[in-house]
A and B are shown apart, each in its own frame.
Chain A
Amino acid sequence: MMEQVVITFLCMAILLYFLLGGADFGAGIIELFTSTKNRSKTRKTMYQAIGPVWEANHMWLIIAIVILFVGFPHIYTTMSVYLHIPLAIMLIGIIARGTAFVFRHYDAVKDDMQWFYNRIFRYSSFITALFLGIIAGSLISGHIDTQANDFYTAYISGWLNWFSVAVGLFTVALCGFLAAIYLIGETKEAHDKRRFIKKAELMNIAAVVFGAMVFIAAQRDKIPLIDWVFKSNVGLSAIVLASLSLVLLWYLLLKGKTKILRILAGFQVTMILLAISYAHFPNFIRLKSGDAISLLETVGPEKTIYSLGLALLLGSVLILPFLGYLFYKFQKREE
């Protein structure tokens, strides 16, 4: 019973990190692809939009990691050993973008240093999202080889392969898309809105292209992605719903309804994640040997899971109302 609670929280935390943290990375990615002339405006909109909540957005990653190392230590350590390099790169990205974001705002003197912070923020946003995707892709790619005895097979080829990199790029596009949609609702001027809509279009196209690449790479690497998505009812319905919501999203966008968009965009990304992961759930890591490490089989001792579940339930009772109020308070601000 508690096992299910803990697994639900884990999935929730991962999902929310993709959505909220993803939108956050996306903001940096969009800035990267914004012409110099509009950058400072983009930056300002973005700061107002995510400033109050960015710290909370990133807590989901920590929650997910803590659940993993307390409840599913074997999964945590397998990832840590065989995906050491991409994890380390992602961490460097997280450190760089988190500090650059705050420094550029709180530097008491606004001078050339801003140029430096901005650079770091943009590039590290891109890198973090890319490697987050690469890590996610590697977990299901089946390239991780726990029996390897040379450096390359053990620590490189597990994540440096076509499929993982394609998933990484796809993630970058999704993050950019989420952020663009989110920012459309944050601007008031028609001119700015148009700019973000353009960005959303661009990111949407990129997502489709990279999404196709993911399938091609899966085919090439013999990953049964097509089976997962199209041969299971859940996978198929999720993909259909994702496509429908995309159509609806563009329709509403043309109609100028901007606030509901973000819910649709979030829904769409959720469906994509569901489609990809449902078929092999609860397997968390697929290995080269053909085996898989499953959440259910590696779950920690009973008492641990029990108290972890209790801590999570207690935590959410304390946190969720507070968090909801935070989002609400700073949503209302401009209206």
Chain B
Amino acid sequence: MDDFIAARSQMALSLGFHIIFSCIGMVMPFFMAVSHYKWLKTNDEVYKNLTKAWSKGVAIFFATGAVSGTMLSFELGLLWPKFMDHAGPIFGMPFSLEGTAFFIEAIALGFFLYGWNKLNKWFHWFTGMVVGVSGLASGILVVAANAWMNSPAGFDFVNGQYLNIDPIQAMFNKAWFSQALHMCLAAFTATGFAVAGVHALMILRDRNKEFHLKAFKIAAIFACIGALLQPLSGDISAKDVAKRQPAKLAAMEALYKTEKPAPLLIGGIVNEKDKTVKGAIEIPGALSFLAHGDFKAEVKGLDQIPENEHPPVAITHYAFQIMVGIGTLLLLVSLIYFFTLFKKNPLTEKRWLLKLFVGAIPLGYIALEAGWVVTEVGRQPWIIYGIMRTKDAVTPMPGIAYSFYIFSAIYVSLSIIVTFLLYRQIKMVPVLYNKPETK
């Protein structure tokens, strides 16, 4: 394997791995806080058990998120030293604030996990909230750093020099808001559907119905609100991309020729050699509307962009289709769920609805990963858009392929173990929580 490809693959793998755990770390504390709050208010033991059961899962995910994040902060240098040499001081601001946020999160987690029966109960609840809020803050900050790579700001680039560096301006670059908003919603949607789905499965299997029903309701409401807002935020993102990264937009839509008005393509097979798309459904004018809010606007195609600045079109296009497709599906599921909330008969009788949620378990995460592929692959060949090429940033050390194999093996084993642990955690729910605790 070529070293450059290996470095890119290793980066993608590590980020793709980390994002799953960090989303859970960002979102689960809020679910727990709701359940914890209900326990404190109603004294219903089931809520207490639920909070505890969730917190055990979260501890596993949190540790995995923390070690994979530590890995990432070294990996930026191990794989992209020339990028970090220049970018570090410019986009470092969010990372240094993020350090603070992580720290608070880690401390609060210590309190939360080990504070049962030791702390004032409302202080204990509050520490759980702090875990969630600081997790969310760190997510927003790190995405702002990534947004800077898409939309560099806060410095003047003169003759290959990075002058007049202003890290605050770099942090509040043009892309940070749309990306951070979309990312936060995605975290709630993806984690919400995954958690709701797992509990729905348990209800279908008739295990500890009361427990799982309560869990399901908390997760589902977060998931569905997220899924309702996701397309709106995605639309903001798309308009944003059209303005600042026309090459990415063209690749997302596999738009090889500039058109006015431009149609929206659904599906289709991309042929990168002939620069054609076969078998796609065309909705006339829709892309013009999506990108510029006007059915007749012109949309820049790849023909207006020098060939050596084209991102990989097929991957970006497929990934975008997957994300939007899943986004639409999840939107439908949410609408159905909200609709059924107004019906009288209890949820446990609507087995078809629960089955729908079971089917949605992996979907949010698939969309999330696909969305990141759109953003990151669509930025290629640039590591800092318009400023530095990815291939100029890669480490001079040969043999990165081996590093890639080793880390792939580690990530694969970790995924297997985490899945296995979670399976055991869920399997043990009846044993651990069936009778109310005597303590």
Residues of A whose CB lies within 8 Å of any CB of B are 51-53, 55-56, 58-59, 61-63, 65-67, 69-71, 73-74, 76-77, 79-81, 84, 87-88, 91-92, 94-96, 98-99, 101-103, 106-109, 151, 154-155, 300-301, 303-304, 307-308, 311-312, 314-315, 318-319, 322-323, 326, 329-330, 333
Contacts and interface: CB of A to CB of B under 8 A. Distances in A.
A103 B421 contact: yes
A22 to B, nearest CB: 16
Interface string B59-81: 11011101111110110111001
The 4 closest A-B pairs by CB, nearest first: A70-B92, A80-B77, A315-B100, A73-B88
B72 to A, nearest CB: 10
Main secondary structure of the interface of A (DSSP, over half): helix
Nearest to B78: A80
Given A95-B68, A102-B59, A303-B165, A319 B403 contact: no
B90 interface: yes
B417 A99 contact: yes
B63 A102 contact: yes
Main secondary structure of the interface of B (DSSP, over half): helix
Given A77-B77, A106-B60, A56 B107 contact: yes
A155 B395 CA distance: 12
Contacts of B78: 80, 84, 87-88
Contacts of B165: 300-301, 303-304
B352 interface: no
B89 interface: yes
Contact of B406 (A92, A99, A300): A92
Of A80, A155, A308, most buried by chain B (CB within 10 Å of CB) is: A80
Nearest to A316: B100
B81 A81 contact: yes
Interface string B75-117: 0111001101110111011011111101110111111011100
A314 B103 contact: no
Contact count band on B:
35 or more
Contacts of A53: 110
9 contacts: A62-B102, A66-B98, A70-B89, A99-B64, A107-B421, A304-B92, A308-B96, A308-B167, A326-B107
B70 A62 contact: yes
Nearest to A330: B114
Nearest to B110: A52
Contacts of A70: 88-89, 92-93, 95-96
Nearest to B411: A95
B425 interface: yes
Contact of A319 (B89, B103, B115, B168): B103
A71 B93 CA distance: 10
A73 B84 CA distance: 7
Contacts of A330: 110, 114
Contacts of B109: 55
A304 B90 contact: yes
B298 interface: no
Interface in B371-395: 395
Contacts of A84: 78, 395, 397
B351 interface: no
B13 interface: no
B50 to A, nearest CB: 15
A69 B92 contact: yes
Contact of B89 (A95, A154, A300, A314): A300
Given A91-B71, A99-B63, A62 B99 contact: yes
B414 interface: yes
B232 interface: no
Contacts of B414: 95, 99
Contacts of B355: none
A69 B80 CA distance: 12
Contacts of B436: none
A202 to B, nearest CB: 29
Given A99-B63, A155-B397, A304-B89, A323 B114 contact: no
A51 B114 contact: yes
A109 B85 CA distance: 47
A61 B70 contact: yes
Contacts of B269: none
B118 interface: yes
B350 interface: no
B421 A77 contact: no
A28 to B, nearest CB: 15
Of B63, B85, B109, B165, most buried by chain A (CB within 10 Å of CB) is: B63
